[in-house]
Amino acid sequence: MFPVSVNRHIDEHLKNVVLEIETKNPDLSVFTARQFRYNLFQNTVELTIKEPRQFNVLEEFIIRAGLEFDPPPTSTELASVLGLDAVFVNNTIATLQSLQTLSLDSTITVTNEGRLFYEKGTVPQPPYTVTVYAICDALEESVIFQSEYLDDVSMKLPDLTKVVKISDKSINISALEIEKIQNIVKDSDLTFHVPEQGKIVTDFQVIPPTKNIWQSLDLLVIFNAKEDIFNIQVCKGEEILKPASKKINSLLKQGKIYLTELCELSNENIALAREEIIQN
C-alpha cells in the first residue's frame, strides 16, 4: 500500500485504474498516474493503385512472346508470325505499354510488374488514386496510414516533451521506398495493397503541408516491491502502448529522464515511500 505520508499525483480519471492495479497485485504501488499531451505529425498521401483484369488472347500471345522468344521480337515480326494486321498488334502493344506491362523498347519486353500480373493470368487495369493520411508517432517511432483525417484536439494538459525527450521532426515519407510504403499500407490493415489478389500500390505522392496533431496519453509510474524496480506504463484508454512504454523505461534506465519529474516528487519522498512500501 502506498504510504499516506507522501502526496502522490493521481489524475482524477485514473483513480479507478490505480485502485484496480493495487488491489489485484499487492506488490505493486502506483507512484503517479498522469495524463499528458504529445505531438503527432500528419501528412496527406496519395496512393496510386493498380488492379487486375483477365487478359485477352492477343494480349496473352504478345506477353508470352516477350517472355519466351530469344531475342524478343518486334511488333512487326510478331504480327507476321500471328498473321495479323500490324496496326492491330501495335495498338495492343501500346495499351500494354501504357499499363507498364511492356517497356517502351523497340522489341517486346515484359516489365517486372507485367510478369507478376501475367503469372496470375491478368494485366493491370488503368491505375487510380486514393487519399490516405500518414500518422508519424515519434514516441512509438512508427508510421501508420489511415483513411480518416485525424482532427487536432485542443487540450489543457502538460506537454510530455517537458519531461521526456521526443523528436520534434516528422519522418520524411517522400524519401521512403515504394516497398516500405506497401508494407505500411499492409501493417495499417488497409486493403489497398493485396498482391495475392493482384491489387498493388505502385506509386505514392506526399501532399504538403505536414500538420501537427495533439493527442493525449496516460503515464503511470509503478513500483514493484517484490522486485524493487520501477516500471513506466504508457496507455491510451485501456490499450498499453508497448513500444512507447519500452522507450520511456529505456530512457529512465539511461538516466535521460527522472522519476522526480515524472512523479512530481522529491528524491527524498520517493526514497521514503519506497522504503515504507518494502517494509510493509
Tell me the DSSP string of 126-156.
PPEEEEEEEEEETTTTEEEEESSPPPP----
Asked if residues 219 and 262 have their Cβ atoms less than 8 Å apart, the reply is yes
Q: How many other CB atoms are found less than 10 A from the CB of residue 45?
A: 20
Domain ranges of the chain: 9-45+129-279, 52-124
Q: Residues 151-208: pLDDT tens digits?
A: 877 678 999 988 888 877 788 999 999 999 999 999 999 999 998 888 899 999 999 9
Q: Residues 83-103: pLDDT tens digits?
A: 899 999 999 999 999 988 999
Asked if residues 160 and 215 have their Cβ atoms less than 8 Å apart, the reply is no
> CA 223 to CA 271: how far, in whole Å?
12
Verdict on whether the full-model pTM lies above 0.85:
no
At 4 the pLDDT is: 81
* Residue that has been written with the C-alpha cell 483484369 in this structure: 53
Averaged pLDDT for residues 238-260:
92
Amino acid at 30: V
> CA 69 to CA 64: how far, in whole Å?
8
| 229 pLDDT more than 80 | yes
CB hemisphere CA count around 46 (13 angstroms): 7
| 49 pLDDT more than 90 | yes
Q: Residues 209-224: pLDDT tens digits?
A: 999 999 899 999 999 9
| 225 pLDDT more than 90 | yes
At 278 the pLDDT is: 87
At 162 the pLDDT is: 87
Q: Residues 136-148: pLDDT tens digits?
A: 998 888 999 999 9
Averaged pLDDT for residues 238-252:
92
At 238 the pLDDT is: 85
What are the CB-based long-range contacts (under 8 Å, 24+) for 166-174?
Answer: 166/38, 166/39, 166/138, 166/139, 167/138, 168/39, 168/138, 169/138, 170/41, 170/43, 170/136, 170/138, 170/210, 171/41, 171/136, 171/143, 173/43, 173/45, 173/134, 173/136, 173/143, 173/206, 174/206
Antiparallel, parallel or unpaired: β 239-240 and 52-54? unpaired
CATH code that applies to domain 52-124: 1.10.10.10
What's the whole-number average pLDDT of the chain? Answer: 91
Asked if residues 230 and 252 have their Cβ atoms less than 8 Å apart, the reply is yes
At 265 the pLDDT is: 93
At 29 the pLDDT is: 95
At 163 the pLDDT is: 87
At 101 the pLDDT is: 92
Q: Residues 9-28: pLDDT tens digits?
A: 999 999 999 999 999 999 99
At 5 the pLDDT is: 80
